[in-house]
Amino acid sequence: MRVGIVCPYSWDMPGGVKQHIDDLAQALIAQDHDVSVIAPAADDDELPPYVVGAGRAVPVPYNGSVARMSFGFLSAARVRRWVRTGEFDVLHIHEPLIPSLGVLACWAAKGPIVATFHASFTRSRAIAVAEPLLRSALEKLSGRIAVSDAARKSLVEQFGGDTVLIPNGVTVARYTSAEPLDGWGPDGATIGFLGRMDEERKGLPILLDAFAELGPARPGLKLLIAGPGDAKDVYERLPRELHDRVTVLGMVSEADKIRAYHSVDVFCAPNTRGESFGIVLAEAMASGATVLASDIPAFRKVLGEGQAGALFANGDPSSLAREAAALLDAPERRAKLAEEALVAVQKYDWSTVARDVVRVYETVTTAGAGRVEEDL
């Protein structure tokens, strides 16, 4: 099957949706499908052979974050040419409700079109104003996928219609084996964090406040932080006497990200809202890490209500501190949670998830559906 996939976010920036699309593309290729991905990217960016650049992205505030997207004449022309020449059996658009390539692709194409909705959202003035345009795009969809109950609920409540639930995927084998980062390693006293440091909803300030609460009574306690943001902001939030126990790596490669998961005793995800799944949890689980996460609905589901990872009260540094201390003092419990996590994460492996996505493709490409064509 010839599949065209539309990525809304800049290919050179890390993020859950972009990672999802890249992993899906590779899983489909491994299953002998022919795949082309179009994504915001500058002309001089290095891209995988299956990715086509649609022009440089610009920062746009979206869903409590700042995402890099493309939405302009150049991008529209490149999307239209890609659709016209792609000879796709099915077009798979991700996040068609945001102002980026997904909307452009919906307008440019007709035929078998599937969309995946990643984000949960609430009714807003912007959605109300844009609803006629969004509906014009949604009406072209032959199939709809949501990655979580929260994303599905948002979509159905706002726009109606039927939506298949297929969770995010993780390439489990990629994460299971790795050496810890140099100078690190599980030692019974290391907490880890991975995410955008300067994005409030990722919850790093809550973890820092909990670390400040735990640190004085635990002289060996350390904190390892990876992700984009300003390290100065991290240290300014902590007492000076704890600075030498906090390491900020900043942006890391995919290989070092995996090594970071293997370098900690407790991986903490203190996210406060806006998460429809929790891919970072799945990655940590696949790495054999012991997970401690806020008890937001998406995280509770991925962690089996606490069976595959510990939970703390969302937004409460003291609750986080108590749960982290209990985990650090109970190596047997950590090992049991990590073992449960490795079992639980198997259902999110891309070898399984990609086959579920292909079933949706097969549903919309039934006899007589034709190929994807440019909508003139």
CB-based contact 5:22 (threshold 8 Å): no
Buried b (16+ CB within 10 A) or exposed e, 317-334: bebbbbbbbebbeeeeeb
pLDDT score, position 131: 62
Q: Residue 273: what pLDDT?
A: 87
How many Cβ atoms sit within 10 Å of the Cβ of residue 43? Answer: 7
4 with 86: CB under 8 angstroms? yes
- Please classify residue 124 by burial: count the beta carbons closer than 10 Å to its beta carbon, then call 0-12 exposed, 13-18 middle and 19+ buried: exposed
Supply the pLDDT for residue 133: 67
CA angle 367, 369, 371 (to 5 degrees): 115
Task: List, for the chain, all residue ranges whose pLDDT scores fall below the cut of 50.
Answer: 126
345, 277 in Cβ contact below 8 A? Answer: no
Dihedral (C-alpha) 120, 228, 251, 223: value to the nearest 10 degrees? Answer: -100
CB 210 within 8 A of CB 324: yes
Give dist(CA 284, CA 261) in Å, integer. 6
Tell me the per-residue pLDDT of 46-70, one tens digit each, with 9 for 90 and over.
Answer: 999 999 999 887 655 555 555 555 5
Entry pTM:
0.80
